[in-house]
Structure 1
Amino acid sequence: MSYELNYWSTSPLPTIFAVCGAYIALMMLIMCLFMYSKQRKNAYIYMAAAFFFIMTYEGLNIHSAWTGKPVFSPESDVLRFIQLFSFVLLNISVVMLYRKIRTMHYWLPLLSAALLMLPFMLPSFLPYTLDPIWQSIYFDVLQLAALYLAYIQVTPRIGQPIKYALGLAVYVIWTILQAVHTYYGSLSPALQGLALALPVLFYSIVFFILFRRIVELMQSIYRSAITDGLTGLYNRRHFMKHLDHYAAQELKISAIFCDIDNFKKLNDTQGHARADEVLKQVAAIMEEELEGIGITGRYGGEELVALVVDRKAKPAQVAEKIRARVAGESIVTISIGYSVLRKGVRGDELMKQADKAMYHSKTTGKNKVSDYRSLKTASAEPTESAG
């Protein structure tokens, strides 16, 4: 912001603050364009446009502070237009970062631009020109309306309401100082310095809001790529990736394979919604029992798997605890098989062993736990006696 005040005529602070504001705007413009190229989310285009106008605004302030010959006066309609229009775009883009907005809201920038252009168009239609003081009042009214709408419409709809409310409070103080300068023409040196710093503070707050939201979206995208959308457990591909990693190191791990008994019948009699609820309930039990000792995943359909990586944990006890809790806390039972990794066994082989043990549980009564090693021993006994 460039104020024509004698106190600051030789000070480097107006230039420094304007450069800082322009730099932040440039960085955010680049960040938004980059994110749009990756996600094609319209919010980034709106925010990029907002920071393009902010960068233009601060560029004019840099010219004013550097040359001492402002292109426009501080009360200029052009500067007020750029400032207010960028604020409107910024609020729309912040909402769009968190939720989809109705089609009618896309007309808000056009409506705002029309209202802001009114002081430029009136002289061509009216036989007189509006007095500058009324132009300032007109822009102040629009600014207050924009701030009010931002507080009641934007803040409750985003994931960082306190932080954004703080940013709006900074913007309000900046607006008040602008009004004092416009109508009274004098600010103390301390308030002049504050007026120069507030825009940079506001841009910084918006930057942190954007940065945090981008991190959240990236985490969400990554998590959706590695987890099952219904249960929240690791998907089969990512689970097997972990299993192969542990198996390659020949660590002492165990695989647990679970299958919900009579799941198809549950689907047919009570519907998919009810079956999905039961599946999520069983998945939650498994996740709780494996917390701190291993990982869980959805192998496919009603098949859920787990990997015990804690050396102190006994897979038989973990599997039995899961079976007992499912039988006691849900309307279904599960058949479980498990196998302990042995030297020379690959990750996919270990999972096949656990699957075979589960199949044994399923075909010998269900709602039970079977150890692959015990099955192998039992199948070898007749051969030994026959020999």
Structure 2
Amino acid sequence: MDNFTISDMFFGPAGPVFLHSMLIVIIGMTMFVSIRLLITRRKIGYLSMVVALGIFLLQYGQLVHQTLSHNTGDVQTFTALVLKVLAFVMMNIGMYQLYNVTRKRDIVVFCLSGALSVAAALTYWYAPIWLQSSEEHHALLRPLGMELYLFILIFVSFMLVNPRIGQNGKYQLMLTVYFVMHTVHMANLYLFNGSQRALDLLERTIPFAFHIVLFLFIFERVIELMQAIYISSITDGLTRLYNRKYFENRVKQYVQQRVPVAVLFSDIDNFKKLNDTKGHQMGDLALKKVAQIVKEETEDAGICGRYGGEEIVVLITDPDTKAESLAERIRSRVEEETNVTVSVGYSYYSKGVTAEELIKQADEAMYQAKTTGKNKVVGF
């Protein structure tokens, strides 16, 4: 052990054990994150990923055992190939399920891939008669069916799975790395009979790139879920505008810093009558159209939110945007582009005014617009 060198780590007898053990650690970390996601999200895609990662652990654990025991018989080689194919299939099924609802047709495709995998595995034991020449030649060609089947799976994954999932860049990188890894393995085995040290090195190190990208894929999924949870906590589900709590907090932040902001407070005219006569679906549609107009008009001027019911509010943070001009643009667009109108009130921040008072002032101005004819803009 005192003379153990970096060269021994990659090319020595203990090299495969060391490198495969490191891979097991990386896969274990990925599996831990996947299990946490499975517990919290209870989605079948995470279960499939956990199963796939479990098979990866078995695959590299079996390779470590095979190296330590110096046992490379037919059963061991076959087991390694089966685990390799199953892990790849389950990984792709899991990634597909993370971004898609599993339907009946998907189950049919999964079952078909399973049946094809079984058929490919059988070629190991039942090779065609014309391949059964010398024992050495036959032993070399036995795994060929399963090895070529992996190339087919990579191609099918590119064609069918890649367009239907998020994180396409990472997924394509994973498949590309896996393709290179398998190509190097095939070249090393069938062209050079394992005699090329450079190919040996690539065959042992490329899996690290694959499993690191796989870990990043799962970790990115965690970030996606955290972002989705945060966004849902600060936005309104119907209009996709900020909710009342978030809007009030932002107003408080600006007021506490004494930034010269303004608040618009708008209300859809005769909204209750619209709901009662044409139904809540039409009311929701009108609300979403108004919200979209407000969002478009305030994109560079500030933030907008749904304050409650049919009330939509705007915090103007751009010092060059005049509240009355913005309010009038919103009012006129709503009148022209929808089947409803809005009454809008606005108020500017002044020294000594709290956030609650600023919003209340804009609300009072809107109420004045309501009671003096509707479909108009009034300042506080």
TM bucket by the smaller chain? 0.7 to 0.9
- Going from structure 1 to structure 2, the CA distance change for 1:116 and 1:344 (only over 3 Å counts) comes to farther
Counterpart for residue 146 of structure 1: 153
How far apart, in 1, do the equivalents of 2:184 and 2:259 lie? Answer: 66
How far apart, in 2, do the equivalents of 1:186 and 1:141 lie? Answer: 18
The C-alpha deviation readout for 1:225-245, integer Å capped at 9, x for no partner, is 211122211012221222233
8 A Cα contact 1:147 1:168, kept in partner: yes
How far apart, in 1, do the equivalents of 2:341 and 2:90 lie? Answer: 55
Amino acid at match of 2:156: L
Please state whether the residue corresponding to 2:242 is helix, strand or coil: coil
How far apart, in 2, do the equivalents of 1:208 and 1:9 lie? Answer: 28
Counterpart for residue 169 of structure 1: 176
- Going from structure 1 to structure 2, the CA distance change for 1:236 and 1:206 (only over 3 Å counts) comes to same
1:244 to 247, 252, 277: 252
Counterpart for residue 56 of structure 2: 54
Offset, 1:73: 5.6
- Going from structure 1 to structure 2, the CA distance change for 1:357 and 1:188 (only over 3 Å counts) comes to same
Offset, 1:286: 1.7
Amino acid at match of 2:118: L
The C-alpha deviation readout for 1:271-307, integer Å capped at 9, x for no partner, is 5444434322322222233233321101122210111
The C-alpha deviation readout for 1:147-185, integer Å capped at 9, x for no partner, is 343223211211233442332232223333333444452
Deviates more, 1:172-181 or 1:256-265: 172-181
Please state whether the residue corresponding to 1:366 is helix, strand or coil: coil
Offset, 1:9: 4.9
Q: Is 2:165 aligned against 1:158?
A: yes
Offset, 1:366: 1.0
- Listed as ranges, the matches of 1:9-24 within 5 Å are 9-10=11-12, 14-15=16-17, 17-24=19-26
For the aligned residue pairs, the C-alpha RMSD in angstroms reads 3.5
Counterpart for residue 198 of structure 1: 206
How far apart, in 2, do the equivalents of 1:139 and 1:15 lie? Answer: 24
8 A Cα contact 2:63 2:80, kept in partner: no
- Listed as ranges, the matches of 1:292-307 within 5 Å are 292-307=300-315
Instruction: Give TM-score, length-normalised by structure 2.
Output: 0.81
How far apart, in 1, do the equivalents of 2:160 and 2:338 lie? Answer: 43
Q: Is 2:362 aligned against 1:354?
A: yes
Offset, 1:28: 0.6
Offset, 1:92: 0.8
1:314 to 322, 343, 347: 322
8 A Cα contact 2:124 2:146, kept in partner: no
Please state whether the residue corresponding to 2:143 is helix, strand or coil: helix
8 A Cα contact 2:331 2:377, kept in partner: yes
How far apart, in 2, do the equivalents of 1:241 and 1:73 lie? Answer: 68
Amino acid at match of 1:10: G
Amino acid at match of 2:176: A
Counterpart for residue 216 of structure 1: 224
How far apart, in 1, do the equivalents of 2:268 and 2:174 lie? Answer: 51
The C-alpha deviation readout for 1:213-235, integer Å capped at 9, x for no partner, is 33223212211121112221101
Offset, 1:85: 1.1
Counterpart for residue 36 of structure 1: 38
8 A Cα contact 1:89 1:109, kept in partner: no
Counterpart for residue 115 of structure 1: 118
Please state whether the residue corresponding to 2:313 is helix, strand or coil: strand
Please state whether the residue corresponding to 1:76 is helix, strand or coil: helix
1:231 to 234, 239, 250: 239
- Going from structure 1 to structure 2, the CA distance change for 1:135 and 1:325 (only over 3 Å counts) comes to same
The C-alpha deviation readout for 1:102-130, integer Å capped at 9, x for no partner, is 2575684897398289659989xxxxxxx
1:365 to 361, 373, 378: 373
How far apart, in 2, do the equivalents of 1:326 and 1:187 lie? Answer: 75
How far apart, in 2, do the equivalents of 1:122 and 1:15 lie? Answer: 28
Q: How many residues align?
A: 360
Please state whether the residue corresponding to 1:220 is helix, strand or coil: helix
- Going from structure 1 to structure 2, the CA distance change for 1:275 and 1:249 (only over 3 Å counts) comes to same
Please state whether the residue corresponding to 1:178 is helix, strand or coil: helix
Identity %: 36
Please state whether the residue corresponding to 1:337 is helix, strand or coil: strand
How far apart, in 2, do the equivalents of 1:189 and 1:78 lie? Answer: 25
Counterpart for residue 384 of structure 1: none
8 A Cα contact 1:72 1:79, kept in partner: no
How far apart, in 2, do the equivalents of 1:116 and 1:176 lie? Answer: 22
- Going from structure 1 to structure 2, the CA distance change for 1:239 and 1:263 (only over 3 Å counts) comes to same
How far apart, in 2, do the equivalents of 1:306 and 1:8 lie? Answer: 63
Offset, 1:351: 2.2
Counterpart for residue 253 of structure 1: 261
How far apart, in 1, do the equivalents of 2:335 and 2:314 lie? Answer: 18
8 A Cα contact 1:85 1:116, kept in partner: no
How far apart, in 1, do the equivalents of 2:300 and 2:17 lie? Answer: 55
The C-alpha deviation readout for 1:252-283, integer Å capped at 9, x for no partner, is 33221101123344445555444434322322
